């Protein structure tokens, strides 16, 4: 099981930037893909981005391609996955969650077994 803690959310103006962090701890971290999902009120949870465990391949949802960047760092017993978000839009407003799944990324939230508590991102003037 992987323990995940997100941070970095808040209020951002349209066109602005923010960086989310997800600190993962647990056994066998190097075998887990880490993904970011988001959920806005009344909407289903959707894929934002993911970085695989096997070769570091990154994936992005269509709505964030070219604006968001995911990266992964190893530091002793923890892995931190960052989500750099640029050119933010009001439609990016949501609770952002990080999640872990063995080896490879999936666009389906149901394929991820471990989840963080989420962090709110609000894009508004």
Mean pLDDT per 10-residue segment, the chain (125 residues): 95 98 93 96 96 91 97 91 98 98 93 97 97
Would you state the pLDDT for residue 56?
87
Contact 54/66 with Cβ under 8 angstroms? no
- Tell me what pLDDT residue 71 has: 96
Whole-number pLDDT of residue 97: 98
Residue of 122, 116, 115 whose CA lies nearest to 94 = 122
Instruction: Give the pLDDT confidence score for residue 25 in this predicted structure.
Output: 95
pLDDT number for residue 60: 97
d(CA 105, CA 80): 16
């Amino acid at each position: 099981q992987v323990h995940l803690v997100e941070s970095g959310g808040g209020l951002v103006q349209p066109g602005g930037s923010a960086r989310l962090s997800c600190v993962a701890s647990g056994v066998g971290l190097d075998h887990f893909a880490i993904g970011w999902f988001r959920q806005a009120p009344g909407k289903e949870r959707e894929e934002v981005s993911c970085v695989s465990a096997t070769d570091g391949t990154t994936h992005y949802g269509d709505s964030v391609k070219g604006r968001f960047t995911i990266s992964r760092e190893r530091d002793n017993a923890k892995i931190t996955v960052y989500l750099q978000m640029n050119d933010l839009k009001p439609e990016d407003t949501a609770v952002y969650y990080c999640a872990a799944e063995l080896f490879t990324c999936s666009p389906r939230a149901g394929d991820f077994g471990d989840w963080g508590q989420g962090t709110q991102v609000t894009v508004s003037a």
